[in-house]
Amino acid sequence: MTTVFVSGATGYIAQHVVKELVANGYQVVGSVRSAEKGDKLKKLVGSNFSYEIVKDIQIEGAFNEALKRHPEVTVFLHTASPFHFKTTEPEKDLLIPAVNGTKNALSAVHKFAPQVKNVVITSSYAAIAPASKEVDNTATISETTWNDVTWEDATKDPVTGYRGSKTFAEKAAWEFVEVEKPNFILSTVNPVFVFGPQAFDSEVKDTLNTSAEIINALLKLSPDDEIPFFRGAYVDVRDVAKAHLTAFENKGAENSRLLLADGRFVTQNIVDILLENFSQLRGKIPIGEPGRGSDVESKLAKIDNEKTKKLLGFELIDLKKTVLDTVQQVLDVKGTI
């Protein structure tokens, strides 16, 4: 049985990755920040999951002991990284933990787990898309493009800080491979905004993880509120989990970046889906301007991820299903809004 190490196993995406791995016959060792978090996840996942405590990925040597204890690990998935915008110090809270966390993970694998054949890093569309190109409808963004953000600009605000943290962490990973020539093969998974239900109903809290909260926050609005404006691209978390397996199982994905995106959205598209499908939300949340988001694709850069879609070999979940499943779970768990 192959054993896979998943860093940041308690995260929104990572819990789905762990579930998918176990469903496909893998044994999983997850890193978590405390025994309490590890025990809780173990109860949910079952006997094919065990955990190691890694309190802070940015501390030098963070993963060394965990890997020394698991010589059976042959695949390492690095998902842990801060994803939030709640900081006035992006360099300290986002950039440094992301970059040093990635370097620590890779050097631990290199030094203490030479038997590991594949490393997959959960990078992001943030590392792929330059901010200026995102709103240029003549531009094409693909697996080969890079965010051109500078470290200095990334220290200035939390959104640029997060985008920079993913860019510099991924660059550090490819550089590590080039310089150190480790035994493992690297690939990255680069999702756009990830939506979809929590892996376990018990994870449905008042405030969800940063990306799912974009949808959850709409349920907290009053009819006269402005709809917060988000535009971007989406992919479902269940597809992101499956892609982490493709990234190390499919030879064609070796040394590649998998750009995960199904399509574009603005918040109005999500509101329209909610009001068409949940009668209990009518009169409770704002309607905005129904249909106004229909031309979003034509206003933003084209995302070309045909290469990734071929490697995945499965159909991606569409906006309607990802939104409906996210909200249905919240309504089921909370009973009402």
- Residue 8 binds ligand NAP, judged by CB under 6 A: yes
Residue with Cβ nearer ligand NAP (275 or 327): 327
Residues 248-277 that bind ligand NAP (CB under 6 A): none
- Residue 12 binds ligand NAP, judged by CB under 6 A: yes
Q: How far is the CB of 223 from ligand NAP (least distance, A)?
A: 28
Residue with Cβ nearer ligand NAP (275 or 323): 323
Q: How far is the CB of 32 from ligand NAP (least distance, A)?
A: 7
Site stretch for ligand NAP (CB under 6 A), options 76-84, 241-249, 264-272, 291-299:
76-84
- Residue 82 binds ligand NAP, judged by CB under 6 A: yes
> Which residue number has the CB closest to ligand NAP?
11
Residues 129-168 that bind ligand NAP (CB under 6 A): 166
Exposed / middle / buried, residue 278 (Cβ in 10 Å: 0-12, 13-18, 19+) = middle
Residue with Cβ nearer ligand NAP (13 or 253): 13
Q: How far is CA 247 from the centre of its chain?
A: 14
Residue with Cβ nearer ligand NAP (258 or 281): 258
Backbone angles phi, psi at 131, to 5 degrees: -55, -40
Q: How far is the CB of 101 from ligand NAP (least distance, A)?
A: 6
Q: Are strands 263-266 and 231-236 parallel, antiparallel or unpaired?
A: antiparallel
Residue with Cβ nearer ligand NAP (263 or 286): 263
- Residue 33 binds ligand NAP, judged by CB under 6 A: yes
In angstroms, the CA 171 to CA 168 distance is: 5
Long-range CB contacts for residues 152-157, cutoff 8 Å, separation at least 24: 154/90, 154/91, 154/94, 154/95, 155/90, 155/91, 155/95, 156/90, 157/90
Q: How far is the CB of 82 from ligand NAP (least distance, A)?
A: 4
Which residues have a Cβ under 8 Å from the Cβ of 89 and sit 6 or more positions away? none
- Residue 80 binds ligand NAP, judged by CB under 6 A: yes
Q: How far is the CB of 12 from ligand NAP (least distance, A)?
A: 4
Q: How far is the CB of 309 from ligand NAP (least distance, A)?
A: 17
- Residue 327 binds ligand NAP, judged by CB under 6 A: no
Q: 185 pairs with which residues across the strands? A: 118
Taking a C-beta distance cutoff of 8 angstroms, is the pair 19, 241 a contact?
yes
- Residue 100 binds ligand NAP, judged by CB under 6 A: no
Taking a C-beta distance cutoff of 8 angstroms, is the pair 216, 330 a contact?
yes
In the chain, count of helices (H) and strands (E)?
Answer: 14, 12
Provide the 3-class DSSP secondary structure of residue 44.
helix
